[in-house]
Amino acid sequence: MISMSDDDRKVLHVQCPACNQKQDVEVPERLIKENIKGVSIIAINAQCGHGFHIFVDKRFAIRGYQRSDFDVTALAVETTQVQTYSLPGIVKMFGEEPFVHAMRAILLNQKAIIVGSDQQILKSLFINFISLFEKELQDSAETIEIMSKEEFEHQNPLQYQANLVIDLDFSVVKNNPFQSEKAKIEREILKQSLGVKNVEKQKDDFKERISRVFLYASVMLNFIYQGMDNFKDIKNTMKKKDKNISQDELDLAWMVANSRYTRLLK
């Protein structure tokens, strides 16, 4: 662990995953910006009395929470070595079904809970997973929470009825808020990236596809703000400009755009 120094500080707004109490904390700017992992793990001794970790990217956006099994005495940045996985490695550790649903949750800004017995694997998998989407999630309001199996079993199950819950030990989805949807588009996009022959380039291919999805979603939002709310009209307009637009990416972008627009109306 590296303790806080006299570096410039950045104020973050956190919400305790145990009691939901909100508070502000200061984090060291330099250590986070220079973290080669891209995501820093920061231990918080909250004013509410609970201890937990937050996962902060280089843009100082909180990407996830982890409840602590013990109290911490100071704010610190964790320097634990995190293993880097290939795209097939990330999918294998998740399981394909949990992966595509976690993908849908993060794209549509739905909270997801990832449960497992091995805390180090949980952290490593989370950081590898979030790195696939990190650049495009600057305005994401919801986060992923990782939790030990023991901690989860002591929670009220009704608390997570509206959330995606993944059991990493068995690679299964324990609670699925997308019951009527099969994540077919996400599955197809993943399949296309895994089909790239060079394993080292599969992750880059996946990131590029996600980047395009968010680009298309931004374009669609602009059309919606201008009063055009029919998907067929927007799709036809976009395809006139670029006939090579992937239908799968376009459909997923429409879901993302609708999700963001709905949040703005709330």
Residues 1-54: tens digit of each pLDDT: 444 444 588 888 888 888 888 989 888 888 788 776 678 888 888 888 888 888
Mean local confidence (pLDDT), 69-91: 66
Other Cβ atoms within 10 Å of 35 Cβ, number: 16
94 and 41 fall within a common domain:
no
Q: Mean pLDDT, to the nearest integer, of 160-180? A: 91
Q: Which domain holds residue 241?
A: 200-265
Query: Which DSSP string corresponds to 147-168?
Result: EEHHHHHTS-GGGGTTSEEEET
Give every strand in the sheet of 62-67, ordered side by side.
Answer: 2-3, 76-78, 39-45, 51-57, 62-67, 144-148, 112-116, 164-167, 172-175
Structural domain count, the chain: 3
> Is 61 a domain residue?
yes
In whole angstroms, how far apart are CA 4 and each of 32, 45, 58, 262?
A: 11, 13, 17, 39
Residue 209 located in a structural domain: yes
> In angstroms, rounded to a whole number, what is the distance separating the alpha carbons of residues 175 and 111?
12
- Of residues 25, 56, 52, the one with CA closest to residue 38: 56
pLDDT of residue 25: 87
Please report whether residue 223 resides in a domain.
yes
**Which range (105-119, 130-144, 165-179) has the least confidence?**
130-144
Residue where a domain terminates, one of 142, 159, 175: 175
Same domain, residue pair 73 and 92: no
In a domain, 103, yes or no: yes
Token couple for 193: 């990236």
Q: Label residue 69 by pLDDT band (50, 70, 90).
A: low
Domain annotation covers residue 143: yes
**Over 50: is that where the pLDDT of 74 sits?**
no
Interatomic CA distance for residues 258 and 256, integer angstroms:
5
Each residue of 126-167: pLDDT tens digit?
Answer: 889 988 986 666 555 567 899 989 889 888 888 888 999 999
78-92, 161-175, 251-265: which has the minimum mean pLDDT?
78-92
What's the average model confidence in pLDDT over 234-260? 90
> Is the pLDDT reported for residue 113 higher than 50?
yes
Q: Pick the last residue of a domain from 78, 105, 139.
A: 78
For residues 146 and 96, membership in a common domain is answered with: yes
| Average confidence (pLDDT) over 97-108 | 93
pLDDT for position 68? 65
- 20 and 71: one domain? yes
Average pLDDT score, the chain: 84
